[in-house]
Structure 1
Amino acid sequence: MSSSSNVENLPPQVLRQVSRELCELVRQPPEGIRVIVNEEDVTDIEATIEGPQGTPYAGGVFKLRLVLPKDFPASPPRGFFTTRIFHPNVAVPSVVLCVKCLLIAPNPESALNEEAGRMLLERYDDYCRRARMMTEIHARPAKHKGNSPQSKAVKMAKEKRRTLKRL
């Protein structure tokens, strides 16, 4: 996962606490969130967030990464999505963590992605269509290959990707 680990920089009691908290998150995850623990480096954390129902992100699975800094917990973790997402509070490639609640209730007034924020405020239906399309393209897990309906969906997603690149 990580190319520059901070394990050796953190005090043992902090590492133990982080390990305990990660184990608890794996054992009893918040709804729609899954944490993947790197046993060799607890300062580099991967997680997935399921797109909340009733939002344009429904059906998507968004991967993100949290990196604990050398002076954790004095400084907060850095977080960023590794799955592309169209959202006013997420800027790619900036290092930003958008918690699940922002997927439900975006904050266009503090938009990091100005286009998404403007579209959310001015043309909500267009915003939802674009967010759904990005979710279909980048965050839907692939099921099967071949001539199944899923493979047709993959072909359609590729077409949408090409269309999106032209936007």
Structure 2
Amino acid sequence: MSSSSVSNVENLPPHVLRGVSKETVALSQEPPEGIQLHLNYDDLTDIQATINGPEGTPYAGGEFKVKLVLGKDFPAAPPKGFFLTKIFHPNIATSGEICVNALKKDWKPDLGLKHILLVIKCLLIEPNPESALNEEAGKLLLENYNEFHQRAALMTEIHAKPQPTSPPSMKLKAKVRKDKKKTLKRL
């Protein structure tokens, strides 16, 4: 995924950058349900989003960070998609690379970023074991759904569930306690 950290701003024509900018701003203002776009104003080609795990799936309750990498041939060529959050899924490699037809043979330049993000969200609902990048997940999905579900839910629990934060009052009390201890030591 090393190429995903390289900016392609200088490689894309201005009209493409304007289109990407318009689309990302529109997506951030009116995001599709369960998808939140994270804008990077310094690099328009750094497209990241959080996709909420759909209810009724082993990914429910999870928050999955994804990244789309626009190559120099975008939009003629599809972007590459990566999950930044670890996930157990047939169509997502352990490296995070996403395998979905919308990013491969079914790509059309007019599909747009919203379509891609929705297709990725749909993958969480309807995995495709026939085009598995993670063969273990694909095999489990076909042969033992319950075990697949358990593994995917466990990975979601470990890597994608938001960590509870302590209320501000608890943090403040802890700081006051620490300050009191420091003061007592000085006396």
TM-score band (shorter)? 0.7 to 0.9
Name the CA distance, whole Å, in 2 between partners of 1:137 and 1:71.
Answer: 37
Aligned residue for 2:173? Answer: none
Alignment length, in residue pairs?
Answer: 145
Provide the identity percentage. 63
Q: Displacement of 1:48 after TM fit? A: 0.6
Higher helix share: 2
Which residues in structure 2 correspond to 1:130-149 (within 5 Å)? 130-144=151-165
Residue from 133, 139, 142 that aligns with 1:121: 142
Please, which runs of 5 or more residues in structure 1 have no aligned partner?
147-167
Aligned residue for 1:154? Answer: none
Name the CA distance, whole Å, in 2 between partners of 1:62 and 1:39.
Answer: 21
Deviations, residues 99-152 of structure 1 (Å, cap 9, x unaligned): 011110111111111111111111111111111100000000111259xxxxxx
Aligned residue for 1:30? Answer: 32
Name the CA distance, whole Å, in 2 between partners of 1:130 and 1:145.
Answer: 29
Aligned residue for 1:105? Answer: 126
Which residues in structure 2 correspond to 1:7-156 (within 5 Å)? 7-93=9-95, 95-96=97-98, 99-144=120-165
Asked if structure 2 preserves the Cα contact closer than 8 Å seen for 1:78 and 1:97, the reply is no
Name the CA distance, whole Å, in 1 between partners of 2:124 and 2:88.
Answer: 10
Letter in 1 for 2:36: R
Name the CA distance, whole Å, in 2 between partners of 1:116 and 1:96.
Answer: 14
The two structures have a TM-score, normalised by structure 1, of 0.82
Larger relative contact order (Cα-Cα within 8 Å, sequence gap ≥ 6): 2
Name the CA distance, whole Å, in 1 between partners of 2:91 and 2:99.
Answer: 9
The two structures have a TM-score, normalised by structure 2, of 0.74
